[in-house]
């Protein structure tokens, strides 16, 4: 049986996460807007790409059925109706830090996330509790890049959703 819980956040600008089930949940540390400047004048020299990077802490609590239900995974996806042309997101989760009891997930390396398909960021999660807040769980670095030649001098505001999904 496939269980799925979606956590939507307006990331890069806003992240909010909630749990669907008491026994299985996920949370993200930063719930405040994040802003990336698309003004070339805010970057030294004439860079080929405008970049912005910040980190989040991902925490989760999971309970696997004693009779061998499959493990959980956490995926990441970028969704937007209006984003700057050429925007890319690379995401990488660090190994677990904290005092968990149980088998925490294993990061799957750097993932390049484009619109559309979700990419698995943390895999093989079984019954565990990672703790909560910053300094516990998986520190995840989100790196946004926009090629300089795509940026036009305008006053548009772009909003990007980053979706984290906990699936079994």
* More confident position, 102 or 108: 108
pLDDT value at 162 more than 50: yes
29, part of any domain: no
Residues 161 and 11 sit within 8 Å (Cβ to Cβ): yes
Lowest average pLDDT, out of 17-31, 81-95, 123-137, goes to 17-31
In a domain, 41, yes or no: no
Confidence of residue 18 (pLDDT cuts 50, 70, 90): very low
- Res. 10: pLDDT tops 50: no
DSSP string, 111-139: EEE-BSS-EEEEEEE-SEE--SSTTSBEE
Decide if 26 is inside a domain: no
Q: What is the percent of the chain where pLDDT is above 90?
A: 18
- Expressed as residue numbers, the domain containing 98 is 4-14+47-167
DSSP count for the chain of H helices, then E strands? 0, 12
Count: domains in the chain? 1
Specify if 84 maps to a domain.
yes
Q: Where are the alpha helices (DSSP H) in the chain?
A: none
Q: Of 120, 7, 128, nearest to 64 (Cα)?
A: 128
Q: What value does the mean pLDDT take over residues 12-18?
A: 32
Is residue 28, in this structure, part of any structural domain at all? no
Whether residue 31 lies inside any domain: the answer is no
* 81-92 CB burial, b ≥16 within 10 A, e <16: eebbeebebebb
Within a domain: 20: no
- For 34-84, what is each residue's pLDDT tens digit? 777 777 777 776 677 788 888 889 988 888 877 766 788 999 988 887 777
The reply to whether 25 falls in a domain is no
């Amino acid at each position: 049986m496939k269980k799925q819980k979606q956590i939507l956040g307006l990331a890069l600008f806003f992240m909010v996460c909630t749990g669907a089930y008491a026994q299985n949940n996920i949370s993200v540390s930063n719930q405040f807007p994040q802003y990336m400047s698309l003004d070339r004048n805010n970057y030294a020299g004439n860079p080929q790409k405008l970049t912005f990077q910040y980190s989040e802490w991902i925490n989760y609590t999971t309970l696997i059925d004693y009779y061998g239900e499959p493990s959980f995974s956490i995926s990441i996806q970028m969704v937007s109706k209006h984003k700057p042309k050429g925007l890319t997101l690379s995401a990488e989760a660090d190994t677990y830090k904290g005092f968990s009891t149980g088998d925490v997930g294993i990061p799957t390396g750097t993932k390049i996330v484009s619109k559309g398909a979700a990419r698995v960021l943390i895999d093989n999660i079984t019954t565990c509790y990672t703790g909560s807040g910053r300094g516990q769980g998986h520190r995840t670095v989100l790196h946004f890049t926009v090629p300089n030649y795509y940026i036009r001098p305008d006053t548009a505001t772009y909003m990007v959703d980053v979706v984290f999904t906990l699936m079994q």
